[in-house]
Structure 1
Amino acid sequence: YMGEDPVILVRQKDKSLRVFLNQCPHRGMRICRTDGGNAKSFTCSYHGWAYDLGGNLINVPYESEAFCSDFNKSEWGPTHARVETYKGLVFANWDKNAPTLLEYLSDATYYMDHMLDRTPAGTEVIGGMQKWIIPCNWKFA
């Protein structure tokens, strides 16, 4: 999730990362229904629209019968987020006009470096999906 938005994080063949909204733009259904794993594509279970790992619409059942001839699949992919990493941490942002991650983190990188570079082995990642639901307000963060 990014805030309350369900997202899909996919590592591409070139090792880059893509993040896109886990919601079919056609009727709003989730296009990935699991928290982790491997896939070759994602298919919306509502009308069967299929997306590749880059979040591009690749198949629409009965496309020629159901849509006009100027239907453009490239205009019907899920919303993509900007993705940047810092020392193995993944950050994503919906705002295309936001500053770069390093500009945003600014002086905080000094403190992050102390935390993330504590051991020669680097940062240890806890495997699996971690979820918590806690009663709090904005002051918690």
Structure 2
Amino acid sequence: MNPSIEVYDTEIVNVIKQLHKSRRDIWKITQDGKLDTHSRRQHMTSRRDQKMTRRKRGLQHMINTKDKVLNDCKPQEITWDEYMKDCEKIVVISELHSDEWSSEDENLANNEKNLEKRPERLDKSNSVIKIHEKKWKSTRVWENS
């Protein structure tokens, strides 16, 4: 062991206990047949945390660079401080997402097929997703569609 690192017996014991507890929990979940559900839940939680972190960093960057989009989207009726508080609230709510909708509409799907705008992987599906243009969205989204 590296002599420059000081390790105490209690720390080692705590690490071993935590490792045992974690492995025992996974073993119990496996015995109950719930490992798939547990893994999916863990993955969703991890992705949600990553999404929240990206949102926070993005908002902080926009504030630091005084992004024009923040000014353009600010309603006239509220003050800048209220607007910033609302933006910070929005960033921490994971249920919020882009303004898009999906529907099972055979006519819309057929129209897309006739206009050759429909991807090949969706040929057998009638699902149609529409993304509404918002001034805060990237222009790359509209160039590709």
TM-score norm. by structure 1 comes to 0.20
Which of the two has higher C-alpha Rg?
2
* Structure showing the higher strand proportion among its residues: 1
**Larger RCO: Structure 1 or Structure 2 (Cα < 8 Å, ≥ 6 residues apart)?**
2
